[in-house]
Structure 1
């Protein structure tokens, strides 16, 4: 089933601090399938678990795969909730399996990056897109005609954040 495309320009309303978490793997040796395939197959059950637990702080994810590298972008409500999942049984089991089987083997690499985005310190635009990224994680709203440029929209959010913090 094709995703519904929203014609026009949209943005994401996310007025709280949020966490953007990038996680993935890189296949360094294609012929070592027994090393990288278990790493690849460990992620889908964890993501399914994240989506099934409604109040764990996880909002949504986007997944990308190219020739050698996978990239998943996850959106979380808080740093604490992300770290709590890192200690959850399914994640700990996958992490222990990786360390037992692959840890120092150069056949497969893994990575993650965590970004804390302060309230209002983001700017996103989606043109003629289905729900995606931050708009899928938070609230998907049309861009108002009077909001001119990305720089102006981000500046207004920053001004509002400074005034609100006083």
Structure 2
């Protein structure tokens, strides 16, 4: 069982230049066309296995959620690392991208998507209560909430809202 960190925790980004939050997934539009989407799901598994064996590629951590629309939340060291991996002919992404476009891009049986965000200190905040290591805190540094970082405004480095 995953250990739970009791109490309130947050992510410390102050000792980092930032991280890249990369959301990626697929949506099965025609479930009966397994021949059109199963290889897309398998390709993601291959990419994750490759990245686990090659930490120098720059992916820090990833978690997956499954359903008709799947989503992976991944944290990368930098956009340079992410883009380098995406373009590397020797890594699994580029060949999988080509196969997708050759085999199913026009069929609409499956859709793919991604979003990329650069997360810098002072521009993001997070709080976790009675949670195992997770999200931004798992990818950077998990620290206990204290009087210095107990409010979202403090974690964002913004002035407190007037009330």
TM-score, with length taken from structure 2? 0.88
C-alpha separation between the residues in 2 aligned to 1:120 and 1:150? 10
Q: Which residue pairs with 1:4 in the alignment?
A: 3
Superposition pairs for residues 139-154 of structure 1, below 5 Å? Answer: 139-154=141-156
Superposition pairs for residues 74-113 of structure 1, below 5 Å? Answer: 74-88=74-88, 89=90, 90-113=92-115
Q: Which residue pairs with 2:51 in the alignment?
A: 50
Tell me by how many angstroms 1:71 deviates. 0.5
Superposition pairs for residues 149-164 of structure 1, below 5 Å? Answer: 149-156=151-158
Q: Provide the aligned C-alpha RMSD in A.
A: 1.5
4+ long deviations beyond 4 Å:
none
Residue 17 (structure 1) aligned with residue 18 (structure 2): yes
SS at structure 1 position matched to 2:57: coil
Tell me by how many angstroms 1:143 deviates. 1.0
Gaps of 5+ in 1: 159-166
C-alpha separation between the residues in 2 aligned to 1:118 and 1:131? 20
* Structure with the higher fraction of residues in helix conformation: 1
C-alpha separation between the residues in 2 aligned to 1:119 and 1:55? 23
Q: Which residue pairs with 2:140 in the alignment?
A: 138
Tell me by how many angstroms 1:146 deviates. 4.1
Q: Which residue pairs with 1:37 in the alignment?
A: 38
Gaps of 5+ in 2: none
Tell me by how many angstroms 1:137 deviates. 1.0
Tell me by how many angstroms 1:119 deviates. 3.0
Q: Which residue pairs with 1:162 in the alignment?
A: none
